[in-house]
Structure 1
Amino acid sequence: MSATTFSWRLRPAGPEDAERLSLIGAATFLESFADIIGGEAITAHCLKANSAESYRRHLDTGAQAWLAEVEPGGAPIGYALLTQPDLPGARDGDIELKRIYTLSRFHGGGLGAALMQAAVEAALARGAARLILGVYAGNDRALAFYAKQGFTRIGNRQFNVGGQICDDFVLARPLTLSENTI
């Protein structure tokens, strides 16, 4: 079955959705990286970074999130999380797309673009000049998606995933017409 076979909806998520965000966060991270990151490291990372408490903390401190849910039924199939930046190369006026993931069986149906659009609209509403993110350097599918969305590479970072160090690219996308350089 392809993503176009399914109906889905996108909605803002709040602290009351922390468990749903935790579930889809861990599921999509495992699905994306289980063949790259060792079992102990990925398990430790998912238990910490994708805990319900982690999402509650983000949302309680001003982050915004969106849940994608399959219809009918409302099972979570993707999400995005927008936070204050915590990346090398961040500057005043930046906002970070901390996470954006969908289950792979829903790739190709416009869900990723819809999540990105929600994040861009929220970033603009906050007055951000640039949207930044970190992405695993070997994630070719994500890199192609981000390039299509107008992101370019501005730097590198090392990312600790449960004790395993991974190389990431830091990408940026200008949000205002007056922003001529990234």
Structure 2
Amino acid sequence: MAERPAWTVRTAGPDDASALALVGAATFLDTFAGVIEGSAIVGHCAANHTAESYADLFAKGAQAWLGEAEGGAPVGYALIAEPDLAAALPGDVELKRIYSLSRFHGSGLGGALMSAAVAGAAEHDRLLLGVKADNHRAIAFYRKQGFDPLATRQFNVGGKLFDDLVLARPLS
């Protein structure tokens, strides 16, 4: 039986923007290559997974947690920020991103990142997130973490619209 890869989770900050961008683009490509058109993936990552875009999120009050493999390589992260979802109510916060490299799936990293995000969001009423409506693996993970369907929306990936589910988890 293969040994599970070792990792740690720590609070991330503006100095980690490049690491978050690297993991964000790598995991988005890994998850959606062959599912979403390549030019849409490249456009999405060029706009949303840059060090500057993460620095901007931190400047607006985002919180993040970084998963690192032995030796310090970034392998996953979670990031919460003010919601921009139509279904959001006062007191809500959004889990904007929770990603891990596929090699670390099943290692417990996703659960540890979710626990960090939930703890970081504790002063809020609900934690919301959007997930591609046909990403069954992610939806199953979120349901196991206490999220329930709340609404639907369309999500723009590189100029192409996709159906998303909006899920919510009560925090109080």
Is the pair's TM-score, using the shorter chain for normalization, greater than 0.5? yes
Alignment of 1:12-161 (within 5 A): 12-71=11-70, 73-124=71-122, 127-161=123-157
Alignment gaps of 5+ in structure 1: 177-182
Deviation at 1:36, TM superposition (A): 1.3
Which of 158, 161, 169 is 1:162 aligned to?
158
Structure 2-normalised TM-score? 0.97
The one-letter code sitting in structure 2 at the alignment partner of 1:26 is A
Deviation at 1:5, TM superposition (A): 2.2
Cα distance in 2 for residues equivalent to 1:35 and 1:65: 29
Deviation at 1:105, TM superposition (A): 1.1
Matched positions, count:
172
Deviation at 1:61, TM superposition (A): 1.1
Q: Alignment partner of 1:5: what SS?
A: coil
Deviation at 1:152, TM superposition (A): 0.4
Deviation at 1:78, TM superposition (A): 0.4
Partner residue, 1:179 = none
Deviation string 1:103-141 (CA, Å, 9 cap, x unpaired) is 1111111100000000000100xx101000000001000
Q: Alignment partner of 1:98: what SS?
A: strand
Alignment gaps of 5+ in structure 2: none
Contact 1:88/1:170 (8 A) holds in 2: no
Contact 1:131/1:173 (8 A) holds in 2: yes
Partner residue, 1:175 = 171
Cα distance in 2 for residues equivalent to 1:88 and 1:148: 24
Cα distance in 2 for residues equivalent to 1:5 and 1:128: 34
Alignment of 1:1-12 (within 5 A): 5-12=4-11
Deviation at 1:37, TM superposition (A): 1.1
Structure 1-normalised TM-score? 0.92
The one-letter code sitting in structure 2 at the alignment partner of 1:156 is T
Contact 1:93/1:130 (8 A) holds in 2: yes
Deviation string 1:18-53 (CA, Å, 9 cap, x unpaired) is 111110000001011111111111101001100110
Alignment RMSD: 1.0
